[in-house]
């Protein structure tokens, strides 16, 4: 079953530096994403997750996460992402607001210790 996210959250997941989530030797294989309605398989060598827009609609369709090259019992990439997401203390959301209300929305976010990217 696929997991929906956005470009900002997916990039944060891929760029995670913690050895808890991406220890040395860990890797993903056979990954398939859907980005803005376009399916992108692992064989698409032109795809660079770093070039995703924060607002891109991303779905993790399938894939496997291996903790090391010797791992014979991988977990699904979707499960690994969900565990990572659950452990996060912040969330990344996309918001649509009328431009006349933008500054007041930013003020509300900042007043609640949020960060406007």
pLDDT in single tens digits along all 117 residues of the chain: 799 999 999 999 999 988 999 999 999 999 999 999 999 987 777 888 889 999 999 999 999 999 998 989 999 999 999 999 999 998 888 888 999 999 999 999 999 999 887
Phi/psi at 52 (5° precision): -65, 140
The pTM for the full model equals 0.83
User: Which pLDDT belongs to residue 41?
Assistant: 87
Say how far apart CA 83 and CA 108 lie, in whole Å.
Answer: 29
Phi/psi at 60 (5° precision): -85, 110
SS3 readout for the chain: CCEEEEHHHHHHHHCCCCCCCCCCCCEEEEEEEEECCEEEECCCCCCCHHHCCCCCEEEEEEEEEECCCCCCCCEEHHHHHHHHHHHCCCCCCCCCCCHHHHHHHHHHHHHCCCCCC
């Amino acid at each position: 079953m696929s997991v929906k996210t956005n470009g900002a959250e997916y990039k944060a997941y891929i760029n995670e530096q913690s050895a808890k989530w991406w220890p040395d030797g860990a890797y993903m294989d056979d990954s398939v994403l859907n980005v803005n309605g376009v399916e992108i398989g692992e064989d698409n060598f032109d795809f660079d997750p770093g070039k995703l827009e924060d607002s891109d609609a991303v779905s993790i369709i399938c894939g496997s996460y291996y903790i090391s090259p010797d791992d014979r019992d991988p977990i699904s990439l979707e499960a690994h992402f969900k565990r990572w997401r659950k452990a996060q203390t912040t969330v990344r959301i996309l918001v649509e607001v009328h431009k006349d209300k933008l500054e007041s929305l930013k003020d509300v976010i900042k007043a609640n210790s949020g960060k406007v990217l």
